[in-house]
Amino acid sequence: MAFTALCHTGDISEGNTGLFQAGRKSVLLVWPKGGELKAYRGRCPHADMPLDNTTFDGKKVTCLIHNWGFDAVNGKCVTHLVRNTLHPYPLRIEGDEIQVDVGPVKPARSPA
């Protein structure tokens, strides 16, 4: 496993989500109300679109492209009878840093 720094613990709070970058990979952090912080691949498992247009009610993440909803705790789709799930990444907190293991990470492209 190779954990990569993603953000600081102060960048997200319980009951909220945030989309962050680990190199070229986007990571959706989700902190369910009354639950533990989770990290998922930042792309929707329905049509592989970026999860940058979502809502979160504290329990369910909804991708607003086609309104599929996913359980924040386990990533399972809860609005359609499909097996599509958000792809989880291992997550750990070191000091005030949130780290994830997204597999091999390429550096982000620098602006031209």
> Contact residues for ligand FES (CB under 6 A)?
44, 46-47, 49, 63, 65-66, 68
- Least gap, CB of 3 to ligand FES (angstroms): 27
**How buried is 96 (Cβ within 10 angstroms: 0-12 exposed, 13-18 middle, 19+ buried)?**
exposed
Is the CB of 19 or the CB of 105 nearer to ligand FES? 19
Is the CB of 7 or the CB of 86 nearer to ligand FES? 86
Of residues 83, 67, 55, the one with CA closest to residue 75 = 83
Partners of 68 in beta bridges: 63
- Least gap, CB of 88 to ligand FES (angstroms): 17
